[in-house]
Amino acid sequence: MNPHKDDEPSIYKRVVLKNASPYHYLKVCLELEDSSTRLSAVDLKLFIITGLKSLYGEVGAALNFDLLKYDEDTLTALLRVCSRGLVKLWSSLTLVGSYQKQKCAFRVLQVSPFLLALTANQELQLD
């Protein structure tokens, strides 16, 4: 019988949970040198596949991803990719540098294993 139970050291257990989500979602924006250039959803998907192929070859081009939503005016897209393919997709987007002989860059705005997390407008505005 210990009247001073609070004097005993606390025992902590570290718990690490791996992400069980099968997909990751990316909100990306394509910035082009000529801002008047417009791409259709099909053109954008083919452009992303070309970037995957140039970095990872035929195996990369076969990476399964979906274009869930696309705004042609802002060139902003919502992509879904299997969690195992996230690094390949993200790295290929980062290394894309030109579209039809003009400079371009993909900006990854948000990434989450939860689609709901990307529906809120949480973009950080830096002045």
* Domain 23-112 listed as CATH 3.40.50.1980: no
Q: What is the pTM of this model?
A: 0.78
Torsion of CA 70, 42, 81, 54, to 10 degrees: -130
Looking at residue 15, its pLDDT comes to 62
User: Hey, where are the domains in the chain?
Assistant: 23-112
Q: Are 113 and 17 in contact (CB under 8 A)?
A: no
Q: Which two tokens stand for residue 93?
A: 């987007």
d(CA 48, CA 65): 10
Looking at residue 57, its pLDDT comes to 94
Question: pLDDT tens digits for 29-87?
Answer: 999 999 889 999 999 999 999 999 999 999 889 999 999 999 999 999 999 999 999 99
> 86-95 and 41-61 helices cross at what angle (nearest 10)?
120
